[in-house]
Chains A and B, each alone.
Chain A
Amino acid sequence: MARINLENLGFVYPGAESATLDGLNLTIADGEAHALLGASGAGKTTLLNILSGLLTPTSGALRFDDKDVSRQSGRLRNVAQVFQFPVLYESLSVAENLAFPLKTRKAPENLIRDRLDYICDELHIGDLRALKPAALSLFQKQLIAVGKALVRPDVSLVLLDEPLTAVEPRTKWRLRQTLRRVQADLKVTMIYVTHDQTEALTFADRVSVLTAGGILQTGTPEQVYNSPEHEFVGHFVGSPGMNFLPAKALGINDADRAGFRPEWAVLSRANSTPSTAPANSTGIGHITGKILRIRVQGAQAGKPFGLLTVATDHGEVAVRGEFPDAAVSAGDRLHMQLTRCIAYTDQRKVSDIELL
């Protein structure tokens, strides 16, 4: 296990006009579960290949525990990787697969036996030991691949490259849960690369949001969700993503735009006369609009709640919460009082504004 340090890391593909990765700085603590979240084309795969030793950074340095490993091969760095689909040795049994990374390094027999027992116990795969991969389900195969990555006691970093892609949707959450538990038990440094925000936010201690421009924000899932440093982060994380309106429309003067999560609004019926501010206005953080679509998601104390799409004078927004009353229908006018919002200038956060 190791602390991972990216220092001004950059990468340019030979013959490419612009850098794929430019000046990345990131520190991942020893034993941390870290998620790299990014849309396709953000350079996730390139960064992954640099971490695994397949590519050498063209500038900057990659350090494992302060040791520069930029030019070292992945096997010398003791990196293990779990791929998008299960990668196992098809002619070997599960036990032989699990033992393979130890055998190639000439580990003593008793160590191999101990580690195999330990991993089988941890992943609950003891009864699969004698089987060949062909006899396993995709879920089981990927579980074995995870076990193979964790089997070496001296593994410094485990890379997970969208490991749930090939697994059936039914069993995705189970594998994710297992990964989370195993990571917590074994305290192995893990980097989980994905474009799926749910996977990233539920798996990781900390999340880095990556775009072609670099890392936009690194923080706990709560920080990334509640206080996006960059408009793209707010937009990319969350379902639906953050709403953005001109700051002036919400009464904020010292910023370009203001963003708020769908659930950061208290909903009430607007006065029948359009475009007038309600009486209880505190000055900022309220807006009215016409309801376009309603999706009821449940009811609390007799009041329905759900997702409303609302057309305001400044564009559509999505809000989620308790409806003012049961009779709300499309076409009604709605008043939204925000509980908090975040002000952005040049797409960067300038302040968190608590309103209620």
Chain B
Amino acid sequence: MSSFKPKNNRAWLGVLPVLLIVAFSAVIPLMTVVNYSVQDILDFNSRFFVGFEWYQQTLKDPRFVDAFLRQVVFSLTILAIEVPLGVAVAKGIPKDSRFTSLILILLALPLLIPWNVVGTIWQVFARPDIGLLGWTVNALGIPYNYTAEPLHAWLTLVAMDVWHWTSLIALLAFAGLTSIPTPFYQAAELDGASRWQVFRYVEMPRLQGVLIIGVLLRLMDSFMIYTEPFVLTGGGPGNATTMLSQHLATMAVGQFDLGPAAAFSVIYFLFILLFCWIFYTSVVRSDDE
């Protein structure tokens, strides 16, 4: 055995490039932020170690708590809409029609649009004076102004995210549905299963895998949403649509509070990690039973 040892050790050299890349791309920046988060930085030459003070301050800051709650409500809302809607859309796509590929391309279009363009599109689209949506709604006698009413701003933001991302869930679910062999449907038909039972016992178990990935992606992405609300509402009216990342950007870039912003970032990062871990383990565990 000992004669193999030199070879085994040398093999570690092969991992070195990856280690270096990961260190530069992830570990070092992250540790820099952790480093900032425990110091009070006044200028390049004067900095003080403050321990967990910034963390305590951040967690007690009502603006952070508000932004955090808004963020949770937003993510849960869009998940509750996009997942069922995406599955419903996927079920509506014909499996082997000559229009199938055309439908898939049309569905994929919103995913290809740069995020700030999505924000701009909806900013114009929803304007009460010249936007097609805003003008129509007002013309129907429903007063609507997303720049003035927090509720309207929220509805617009949610509608925009649903428009932008439901396609992702739909495409994933469609891939899952097409992977179900036809005998499963034939057997269910002969067993006398209703449409709901087919969905519940044939399709859902097979969709579980892709939907877990879909929900994880949407959860992480929506929790980090920045560009679209920034372009659409700028976080307003007031702070009504200020999500976590925008609050963070205001602190770090707008006010140059590097220490608190770094502490905020670390907390933010840990929350996303925590949510995904809770979701993943709970789903995987219930799957094992």
Min distance, Cβ A271 to any Cβ of chain B, angstroms:
61
Q: Is the interface of A mostly helix, strand, loop or mixed?
A: loop
Structural contact, B205 and A81, CB atoms closer than 8 A: no
Q: A90-B205, A92-B201 known; A83 and B183 CB under 8 Å? A: yes
Structural contact, A87 and B183, CB atoms closer than 8 A: yes
Min distance, Cβ B92 to any Cβ of chain A, angstroms:
22
Min distance, Cβ B184 to any Cβ of chain A, angstroms:
6
Cross-interface CB contact of A91 among B190, B194, B205, cutoff 8 Å: B205
From A98-106, A230-238, A245-253, give the one contacting chain B: A98-106
Q: Which residues of A contact B197 (CB under 8 A)?
A: 104
- Interface mask (B185-213 → A, CB under 8 Å = 1, otherwise 0): 01101111110010001101110000000
From A30-38, A72-80, A123-131, A302-310, give the one contacting chain B: A72-80
Structural contact, A52 and B190, CB atoms closer than 8 A: yes
A-B pair count, CB < 8 Å, reads: 50
Structural contact, A81 and B202, CB atoms closer than 8 A: no
Q: Which residues of A contact B190 (CB under 8 A)?
A: 52-53, 74-75, 79-81, 101
Structural contact, A105 and B205, CB atoms closer than 8 A: no
A54 within 8 A of B: yes
Q: Which residues of B contact A101 (CB under 8 A)?
A: 190-192
**Closest residue on chain A to residue B204 by CB atoms:** A91
Cross-interface CB contact of A87 among B184, B194, B205, cutoff 8 Å: B184
Q: Which residues of B contact A75 (CB under 8 A)?
A: 189-192
A89 within 8 A of B: yes
Cross-interface CB contact of B205 among A79, A80, A83, A89, cutoff 8 Å: A89
Q: Which residues of B contact A148 (CB under 8 A)?
A: 191
| 6 pairs, A vs B, C-beta closer than 8 Å | A75-B192, A79-B190, A81-B186, A89-B201, A90-B205, A104-B191
Which 7 pairs show the lowest CB-CB distances between chains A and B?
Answer: A104-B192, A91-B205, A83-B183, A101-B191, A87-B187, A89-B201, A90-B205
Binding site for B on A (CB under 8 A): 52-54, 73-75, 79-81, 83-85, 87, 89-92, 100-101, 104-105, 148
Binding site for A on B (CB under 8 A): 181, 183-184, 186-187, 189-194, 197, 201-202, 204-206
Besides A75-B189, A75-B191, 14 new A-B residue pairs in contact (Cβ under 8 A), listed by A number: A79-B190, A80-B191, A83-B186, A87-B183, A87-B186, A89-B205, A90-B205, A91-B204, A92-B201, A100-B191, A101-B190, A104-B192, A104-B197, A105-B192
